[in-house]
Every structure is written in C-alpha cells, then in structure tokens.
C-alpha cells in the first residue's frame, strides 16, 4: 500500500487543483429584482395603453420615415441593438418590448398575435405616427403580418426577418407545441439550455450576442420573471392558433423578407426538417411583389448576425 | 467559451472471492467473465482481497456543440491499488496496480446542423508486458471486470474495432474493453458526417485504427483498421431508418494465440481470423 499512498499524493493534488481553478460560468452576472433593471443602451420611454398596459420602447433618430421594430419570442428590444444605431441616422426608429417582455408591464394576456398587433396599432395611433415601416423578427414578423392584414392603413412597408408564419403545422404538431411549451418549461430552463437555445439562433454565435444569454440568466431572479414565462408560453399558443400562411396573398404593401440560409428554427428541425430556403421561397411567392433576401452563413437572428446586410438592404428598400 | 472540468474518485473493496455477478462466470479480477468482455484476467486464486482506486478528471469545451463550431472533450483516469491472495491463512501481495487511460476528442461543425461535422477521437490505455509475474499490473481495469458495462468506448463511430452504441451486446468488437485484455491500447477514429437534407437525412463515413503498446507472443502490435459508413433518414421526431456497414482488416496482433493473460488473443485459431464485416439496417423509434 506504500505505492498507493505515494500515487495518491502525486495525483490527488493536481486533480483537486484542476477542479478548483475551473470557473463557474456567469457567476458575475448582477442580480436584478425586476426586469426593468435590465440594462439597455438607449433611453427607454413608456406608453400607457388601454387595459393598463405600460409599453416600453425606445425612440431614436428623426426622419420622414418611421420604422417600428418588433422582437421575437422570448426576446426583447435590445435584439435590434445593431440596427437601431445605424438606421436611426436616417429614420425615426422605434423598438418595442411587447407586453410581458423586457421592461413592459407583465399583466397576463392572451398572447394572441392579434393582441400584439392591436398593441402596435395603439402605439402608432398614440404617437401619431401614421403609416409606418414595420420590421418584425420571427414571432415579431408574424405579428407584423397580422397587423398588415388587419389594419393595412397603418403599415406602409413590411420588413420580415426570419418570420414565423411561413411554415405549415398540422393540428397534431400544434398540439405538440402547446403541450411542450409551458410556463414551467420556460421558468425551469437551466443555464446550459439557455445557452444552447440562444446559440441555436445563430449560424456562428458572435461574442457580442452573449449579453442575451446573460440577461436571460439574470431575469430568473426578477420578481416579474414568472409573468414573463407565462407570456412566452402564451405567445407560442398565439402563433400556432393564428396562422397567417393562408392569408399571405392578401398582403399588398411592399414587403422585404430576410432569411438566414442556415436558420435552425425555421423550419422546425424536429417537426418539419428540411431546407429554410424552401419555406422562405414558398412564403415569399404568396406575397405579391415581395423581395426575398437569403443570407448565407447566417442563422435565425439575421438582423443581428448579419446586421450590415439588414441595414443596407433595409435602407435600399425604404429609399 | 468556458471549459468544463470535472474530477472523479471511485473505490472498490473487493472481498467477493470471484463470486456473484450477472453470469455463471462470477466476477472479479480472476473471473472467466473477462474472457468474454475483453478485460485482463489476473492469474490468481479466487481467495483474494483487492483495493482499487480510480482517480480521474474529465474536461469539455462546448459539449452541446451550439455555442461554437469547435468541440473538445476528454478524460484522464488512473487506477491504482493492490491485490493480495491467501497463502495458508495470511494474505500476501500478488500485485500492485497502476495503470491509466486518456482520451481526447475534437469535432468541428463545418455546416449548418449538428450532423455537419468532422471529428477525431484518440485514446491511450497503458498495458502490461508480463502480466503479474513481476507482481505489478500496469494496465487498465474497468467496470467490465465486475460485469458492469462501464468505460465502454462507444460513441467513437467505430463498429467492429471498437463497440458501437447500436449493438446491444457490446462485447463483440475486436477491442471491447479499453484495457485490450491487459495489452493496452493506442487507438483513434475519424468521422465525417453531413446532412444531405437538414435534420432529416445524413451520411457518414469513418475510419478507425488501433495498435497495442505491447505485442502478444508470436503476434504484432497492429490491432486493425476499419472503414465504415452509414446513411440515415428521419421520418419524424425520433423515428429513423438507418443502414450501417463496416469492414475491419485485422492486424498482426491476432496472429498470436497467446493465452498468458487468461485466454487466447485470437480465440485459439491457428491462423489470423478472417476479417469481419457487418451490414445492418435499423429502424429506430423512440416512444415517450
């Protein structure tokens, strides 16, 4: 046993050292008591809308054209941070936190696409904006399409970024979404899965997108986090319950559509595996006169991962 | 991108005298079970006492393969201890044990999906050139010695040289235990996978090669070289139809009939066994 003792001494020490030096990731993320404590790069304003909804938004730049940016599922307005600065040089840019998300109020709501579209319509009217350019990412794209269909007079142009709503789901698949996406699933998502979920939005996750992971981790301590989880789950129900695929041909305003060629969320990789370009082309074909831009080496978060392409093409489109 | 580092420690206090286990062969250091699962057979009487410790560490970078295109995983594990046998009522040293194994796997996701990747996997396991004649065993001991399917080198992409996870009986390949019967192992695999239809249909090609640090009597060091391929089509979530094929060129290691480590290296064949191949179709459906 002498040999054993000697070996133990030689081996245990370096192993313990290795264990101790291994860092706990994200240990320095500051705790927040409310999602209002999240740090945004722009001054946040609030609009008091009907049903006591307090909508957080940023309003940057000036110009004859206004762009309203609507984020996707589980996201928030900083998702547009690489577009707001550039586009606000030429246009008035308004980016919103949808009700239940970010710094907006968290009272429970239906999560329906028509509910969110109504909120945007109310904001347009409250700020007396007139017809605007609507830019929607993912779920925000579906909300934009619903608003364009319900109140076309408020929408001058549509800019859709990897929009939800182009993909067909049958009844069984819709039920699967509803059964899987519960508030508890959102609430109990562990750090590893938060990382993976965010990273799967990109072809190659850029370092400057890590703030989304850190913010999502920090949110878990916020008092209004459970309300956010409910909003996310209900938003999924809203997306599957209010499909727009069979109504796309009714969209008549100029429409610019972006898709990352390597979007790993559209089509759904479990339910409808296949090529993104097929979904994108089929959807674009239904919107008369729309322009489709397929962006190579780019994932679902196109406006962030290839912000230069988004900003340039958007300027060309509006001008 | 952070590294994940873990440490592990296991201890076995074996007073079972070779009895018990899941088979009629019993289990433990001198058990015949090892002839079936590829671990080292200690040439000792059944009445023995063994104390063995495993100290290990493992590491990984980007294990989910999403945060970065590069994934690295690996481990380093040492086994050390002693075995004593009963000689007229007192237990005297039969052998000191000290062996180690290390593994490094790197993969690069070159394309869109997790299946668009190229990977290389390397493993080293120390061996012993003279059994316990010198009262030392410098090879690796795994859970296989006690009938526990631990430390099975699956997930490498090999089918015939190393165990494959699709095969229920994982003791059919040339090297089914990383100790390689006590001779040790230097092995590696390389695989390229590509999604022809994202998340629906993929093809895979791979190769595996291994040599033994120690040659058996009348045998060489080359264990073998394998080429393999697979194609898979997914019909829906967790439902796929797959076809796999592999061919293994056995090396001169298997020219040996050496049975000094408990059983003949090549199954007691007068000549090197024929090169094995496999082709199989599998329909997978995970219900939950």
The pLDDT value recorded for residue A1 is: 47
pLDDT over 80 at A8, yes or no: no
pLDDT over 90 at A163, yes or no: yes
Distance CA B264, CA B129 (A): 15
DSSP reduced 3-state for B13? strand
For residue A276, the chain B residue with the least C-alpha distance is B198
Surface of A (102-141) touching B: CB under 8 A: none
Mind listing the pLDDT tens digit for each residue in B225-263? 999 999 999 998 889 999 999 999 999 999 998 888 877
Instruction: Provide, rounded to the nearest whole percent, the portion of chain A with pLDDT above 70.
Output: 92
Q: Which of B7, B96, B236 sits opposite A18 (nearest CB)?
A: B7
Asked if A203 and B6 come within 8 Å (Cβ–Cβ), the reply is: no
The pLDDT value recorded for residue A22 is: 53
The pLDDT value recorded for residue B185 is: 97
Asked if B78 and A264 come within 8 Å (Cβ–Cβ), the reply is: no
Q: Touching check for A1 and chain B: CB below 8 Å?
A: yes
Mean pLDDT value of segment A171-193: 92
Mean pLDDT value of segment B113-119: 95
Phi, psi of A158 (to 5 degrees): -115, 135
Q: Touching check for A29 and chain B: CB below 8 Å?
A: no
The pLDDT value recorded for residue A247 is: 96
Q: What CA–CA distances, in Å, run from B177 to A277, B9, B184, B222?
A: 46, 20, 10, 16
Mean pLDDT value of segment B83-93: 92
Mind listing the pLDDT tens digit for each residue in A260-277? 999 999 999 989 999 999
Distance CA A20, CA A40 (A): 35
Asked if B78 and A11 come within 8 Å (Cβ–Cβ), the reply is: yes
Domain assignments of chain A as residue spans, ordered by start: 35-318
ipTM, interface predicted TM-score of the complex: 0.82
For residue B100, the chain A residue with the least C-alpha distance is A11
- To the nearest whole Å, the CA of A22 is away from the closest chain B CA by 6
Torsional sign, CA A255, A260, A266, A272 = positive
What mean pLDDT value characterizes chain A?
92
- To the nearest whole Å, the CA of A190 is away from the closest chain B CA by 13
pLDDT range class, residue A255, cuts 50, 70, 90: very high
- To the nearest whole Å, the CA of A273 is away from the closest chain B CA by 5
| Residues of chain B contacting residue A275, judged by C-beta atoms under 8 Å apart | 197-198
| Residues of chain A contacting residue B3, judged by C-beta atoms under 8 Å apart | 22
Instruction: Provide, rounded to the nearest whole percent, the portion of chain B with pLDDT above 90.
Output: 71
The pLDDT value recorded for residue A92 is: 97
pLDDT over 80 at B167, yes or no: no
Region of B250 please: left (phi>0), alpha (psi -120 to 50) or beta: beta
Mind listing the pLDDT tens digit for each residue in B89-105? 899 999 999 999 999 99
- To the nearest whole Å, the CA of B153 is away from the closest chain A CA by 23
Mind listing the pLDDT tens digit for each residue in B122-143? 999 999 999 899 999 999 999 9
The pLDDT value recorded for residue A23 is: 52
Q: How many CB atoms lie within 10 A of CB B274?
A: 8
pLDDT over 70 at A301, yes or no: yes
| Residues of chain A contacting residue B198, judged by C-beta atoms under 8 Å apart | 269, 273-276
pLDDT range class, residue B154, cuts 50, 70, 90: confident
Asked if B82 and A4 come within 8 Å (Cβ–Cβ), the reply is: yes
Mind listing the pLDDT tens digit for each residue in A19-30? 555 555 677 888
Asked if A1 and B234 come within 8 Å (Cβ–Cβ), the reply is: no
- Dump the DSSP string for A91-131: SEEEEEPPTTSTTS--------HHHHHHHHHHHHHHTT--S
* CATH of segment(s) A35-318: 3.40.50.1820
Q: Is residue A177 a contact partner of residue A256, using CB atoms and an 8 Å limit? A: no
H or E stretch covering A175: helix A171-180
The pLDDT value recorded for residue B238 is: 86
What mean pLDDT value characterizes chain B?
92
- To the nearest whole Å, the CA of A95 is away from the closest chain B CA by 27
Q: What CA–CA distances, in Å, run from A238 to A37, A110, A234, A241, A309?
A: 28, 7, 6, 5, 30
Q: Which of B2, B66, B234 sits opposite A200 (nearest CB)?
A: B66
| Residues of chain B contacting residue A18, judged by C-beta atoms under 8 Å apart | 5, 7, 57
| Residues of chain B contacting residue A7, judged by C-beta atoms under 8 Å apart | 78, 80, 98
- The token pair at A318 is 């509006």
Asked if A22 and B66 come within 8 Å (Cβ–Cβ), the reply is: no
pLDDT over 60 at A16, yes or no: no
């Amino acid at each position: 046993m002498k040999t054993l003792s000697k070996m133990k001494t030689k081996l245990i020490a370096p192993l313990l050292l290795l264990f101790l030096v291994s860092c706990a990731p994200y240990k320095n993320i500051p705790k927040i008591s409310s999602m209002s404590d999240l740090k945004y790069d722009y001054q946040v304003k609030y609009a008091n809308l009907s049903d006591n909804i307090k909508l957080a938004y940023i309003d940057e730049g000036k110009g004859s054209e206004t762009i309203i940016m609507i984020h996707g599922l589980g996201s928030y307005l900083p998702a547009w941070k690489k577009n707001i600065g550039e586009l606000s040089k030429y246009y008035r840019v308004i980016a919103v936190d949808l009700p239940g998300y970010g710094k907006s109020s968290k009272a429970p709501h239906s999560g329906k696409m028509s509910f969110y579209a109504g909120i945007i319509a109310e904001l347009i009217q409250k700020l007396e904006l007139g017809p605007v350019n609507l830019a929607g990412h993912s779920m925000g794209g579906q909300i934009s399409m619903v608003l364009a269909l319900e109140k076309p007079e408020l929408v001058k142009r549509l800019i859709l970024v990897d929009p939800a709503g182009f993909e067909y789901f049958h009844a069984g698949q819709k039920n699967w979404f509803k059964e899987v996406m519960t508030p508890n699933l959102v609430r109990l998502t562990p750090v590893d899965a938060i990382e993976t979920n965010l990273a799967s939005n990109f072809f190659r996750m850029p370092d400057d997108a890590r703030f989304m992971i850190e913010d999502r981790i920090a949110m878990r301590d916020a008092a209004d986090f459970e309300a956010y989880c409910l909003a996310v789950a209900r938003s999924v129900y809203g997306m599957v319950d209010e499909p727009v695929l069979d109504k796309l041909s009714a969209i008549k305003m100029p429409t610019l559509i972006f898709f990352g060629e390597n979007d790993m969320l559209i089509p759904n990789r479990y339910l409808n595996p296949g090529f993104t370009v097929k979904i994108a082309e089929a959807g674009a074909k239904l919107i008369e006169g729309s322009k489709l831009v397929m962006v190579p080496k780019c994932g679902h978060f196109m406006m962030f991962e290839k912000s230069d392409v988004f900003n340039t093409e958007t300027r060309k489109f509006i001008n | 991108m952070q590294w994940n580092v873990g440490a592990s420690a296991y201890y076995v206090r074996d007073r079972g005298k070779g009895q018990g286990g899941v088979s009629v062969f019993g289990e433990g250091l001198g058990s015949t079970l090892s002839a079936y699962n590829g671990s080292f057979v200690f040439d000792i009487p059944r009445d023995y006492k063994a104390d063995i410790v495993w100290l290990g560490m493992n590491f990984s970078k980007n294990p989910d393969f999403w945060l970065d295109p590069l994934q690295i995983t690996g481990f380093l594990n040492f086994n050390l201890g002693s075995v004593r046998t009963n000689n007229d009522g007192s237990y005297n040293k039969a052998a000191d044990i000290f062996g180690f194994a290390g593994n490094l796997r790197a993969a690069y996701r070159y394309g869109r999906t997790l299946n668009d990747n190229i990977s290389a996997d390397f493993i080293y396991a120390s061996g012993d050139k003279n059994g316990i004649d010198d009262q030392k065993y410098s090879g690796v001991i795994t859970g296989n010695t006690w009938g526990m399917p631990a430390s099975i080198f699956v997930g490498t992409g090999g089918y015939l040289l190393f165990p494959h996870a699709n095969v229920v009986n994982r003791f059919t390949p040339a090297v089914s235990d990383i100790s390689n019967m006590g001779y040790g192992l230097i092995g590696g695999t390389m695989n390229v996978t590509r999604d022809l239809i994202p998340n629906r249909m993929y093809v895979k090609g791979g190769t595996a090669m291994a040599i033994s640090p120690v040659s058996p009597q009348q045998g060489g060091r080359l264990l073998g070289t394998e080429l393999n391929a697979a194609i898979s089509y997914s019909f829906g979530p967790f439902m796929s139809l797959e076809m796999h094929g592999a061919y293994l060129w056995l090396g001169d290691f298997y020219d040996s009939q050496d049975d000094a480590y408990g059983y003949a290296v090549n199954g007691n064949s007068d000549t090197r066994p024929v090169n094995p191949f496999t082709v199989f179709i599998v329909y997978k459906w995970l219900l939950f």
